Amino acid sequence: MKFFVCSLSVLLALLGPATAHAQDANPAAPDSPLSRLLAERRVLTRQYAEANAQRHGLLGLSNKPSKKDLQDVVDALQGIVNKDEQIVAVLNQTTQQAQTAAAQLQTTTTTLQNTSRGDRNLNAERISELQNEQQNLQERLRQATDKQRTLEADLQEAQQGRTVRDGLVVALALACVGLLFWRRRR
């Protein structure tokens, strides 16, 4: 039991500065159960030191502790052990909460990664569809441009043919009018 108290005392001595830094970093830490329990343990440790220093021997002549002094030391040690058990319980609870939070974080991370993969796949498919649609539209535009050029060429040929025909009609009309005047004059 003495080993347990000593080892826990060493553990708490090492945790003391860490919790002091944690309290500085986190203003809500003073309200935490661990800091409260550590403060109560320090009080119990002082009580133990005071009880262990008491020497009320028989008529004050001996330098040995009395039965009451020894009982006070035992009570103080028992209080420290009880407080240490409470501290260990809080540490275990905190560890469990941290493990639960880590598991939830891992689940959330996995879900986000899977969602991200799904989104990437969906986006890749959509990009592929859009690229295919763009190629189809470009092909249609090229075909429409070719058809427009063909129609413009046909129109130009028709206009040239019409101009030639109109010229022939005018020439024939002039020839007819000329022939008509020539015949009348004779």
Residue 97's pLDDT band, with cuts at 50, 70 and 90, is: very high
CA dihedral angle for residue 140, residue 146, residue 147, residue 153, rounded to 10 degrees: 170
Tokens coding 52: 């262990």
pLDDT at 96: 95
**Over the stretch 123-152, which tens digit does the pLDDT of each residue have?**
899 999 999 999 999 999 999 999 999 999
**Over the stretch 50-83, which tens digit does the pLDDT of each residue have?**
888 877 665 555 677 788 888 989 999 999 999 9
Map out the domains of the chain as residue ranges: 2-112, 147-186
The three-state secondary structure class of 102 is helix
Contact criterion met (CB below 8 Å) for 76 and 51: yes
**Over the stretch 13-52, which tens digit does the pLDDT of each residue have?**
545 544 444 444 443 455 788 899 999 999 999 999 988 8
Q: How far is CA 36 from CA 11, 28, 32, 41, 183, in A?
A: 17, 12, 6, 9, 137
Q: How many CB atoms lie within 10 A of CB 48?
A: 20
Tokens coding 140: 């249609």
**pTM, rounded to two decimals:** 0.48
